[in-house]
Amino acid sequence: MKRPGIEQLEVYFPAQFVGQQALEVENGVSSGKYTKGLGQLQMSFCTDLENIHTVALTVVNNLMAKSSIKYSDIGRLSVSSETILDKSKSIKSVLMQLFENSKNHNVEGVDYLNACYGGTAGLFDAVTWVASEDWDGRYALVVCVDIAEYAAGPARPTGGVGAVAMLIGPNPVISLEVGRASYMKHVYDFYKPYLSSPYPVVDGKLSNSCYIEAIDECYEKFLNTMEKRTKKPLKLDDFDHCIFHSPYNKLVQKSYGRLVYNDFLRRPEEYPAFGQFQTFRESKPAETKTDRNVINTFSKAVSKDYETKVGPSTFLPKRVGNGYTASLYMSLASLLVESEIENLLNKRILAFSYGSGLCSSMFHLKIVDDQKRVCDFQRKANYNHRLQDRHEIAPDAFNQILADKESYNEREAMKPKHSTINLYPGTFYVVERTEKGVHSYRMYDGLLNKCNEL
């Protein structure tokens, strides 16, 4: 039976960024701390003209503009985000403004919230809906959108902004295959206890340790699940590509090495050529989560495989930064756009999704063996024109913009003070917020006097 999945995908990120190398200079840290230590190149960010609603409106509007379907063809819409403007009114309800002209109000689904994991929950449920008896023949939309901002300090360079909208249907280019595993646990590694602040409380060392722990647990359970289904051994080599939730690229590199480490512990006899691995035969994963010797040994030994199986998926995240719920799916978009067509047709993708707190899942996807459809998917999902049109902002101006946003009183009326000059045409932006917290938005088309108001 053919599995439902992703028929089309759209990526959005703001039209301005700050360079990580420039941030190193501005912050007075050693050269390479962000570019090599984190593995990041650039970081997208929002001015006061954009918020989580405008970013979501823009990515959905862009997807539908490229699609052959109408808003009346959508029967389910869910939004995954940890960035909220209202503790009650969902982002999904704001997006329903886009459905007004179609008079389609029969659209189920609401918001998902759990750090960076929500997009995966939304994808799972959308596919289940399409495959269920309740499916009415229409498409589902899964929107993953976040603005990752940090207080001034060492965590600020790990921010970013990203949004991905996915059209889910019965005839996918990328299908969600049968078989997955999850690992859930109560941990305070990253959380946002102060509702008046967008900034999280982060225990960086604990968060990295939890991420690796989740990799280990999910991978073991995933292999066990799949081996019961297929009645044959399974390992990393059985997948053509791997994609990961990417808070920063260096963690992705470590994660791929970690999967190889887990393969080695399961079947060390299959790695005779890697003599340096053998010293770790008696190790237990729980004892090596932060062991630099293990991390470096396995990451370096598989660096060539990493460039082939993971490298293409890191292109966009390294230039946009952390998109939280959108991060994994920006990696998926990057894999599809940056890979040669022969490296995509009929290929299998192993995916790892992580959200602090913690929630995590490992699952697998499969790309259709249809060159015309994959090429069309690549063309519509291509984001490189947007990367080329971005404006680089100096670090001091970037820090001032975040300071300006911090200074706004949420109980007072607000009109953005920053210029629309950097917006892409077709971007929704904030017109004003009343003292009661009611926002109004317009779509910018590149001409100051021609804006469509919602």
Catalytic residue check, 82: yes
Catalogue the E-assigned strands of 193-328. Answer: 201-202, 241-244
Residue pair 427/50 in contact by the 8 Å Cβ criterion: yes
d(CA 437, CA 77) in angstroms, rounded, equals 24
Beta strand 391-392 pairing with 16-19 = parallel
d(CA 389, CA 229) in angstroms, rounded, equals 47
Beta strand 111-112 pairing with 201-202 = unpaired
CA dihedral 160, 20, 385, 379 (to 10 degrees): -60
List the catalytic residue out of 10, 24, 82, 149: 82
List the catalytic residue out of 24, 53, 116, 210: 116
d(CA 42, CA 20) in angstroms, rounded, equals 5
The secondary structure of 6-39 as a DSSP string is EEEEEEE--SEEEEHHHHHHHHTPPTTTTTTSS-
Burial of 129 (0-12, 13-18, 19+ CB in 10 A): buried
DSSP one-letter code for 90: -
Instruction: Quote the radius of gyration of the chain (alpha carbons, Å).
Output: 22
Other beta carbons within 10 angstroms of residue 332's beta carbon come to 24
List the catalytic residue out of 144, 217, 241, 245: 245
Read off the amino acid at residue 321: G
Catalytic residue check, 451: no
Catalytic residue check, 385: no
Which region, left, alpha or beta, applies to residue 184 given φ > 0 means left and ψ of -120 to 50 means alpha?
Answer: beta
Which two three-digit tokens encode residue 396?
A: 């001091």
Which two three-digit tokens encode residue 418?
A: 């920053």
Other beta carbons within 10 angstroms of residue 3's beta carbon come to 15
Other beta carbons within 10 angstroms of residue 453's beta carbon come to 8
Residue pair 149/159 in contact by the 8 Å Cβ criterion: yes
Q: How many residues does the chain have?
A: 454
The residues, ordered by sequence, that sit 6+ positions from 253 with a Cβ below 8 Å of its Cβ are: 39, 299, 306, 310
| Sign of the four-CA dihedral 426, 430, 432, 436 | positive
Name the residues annotated as catalytic: 82, 116, 245
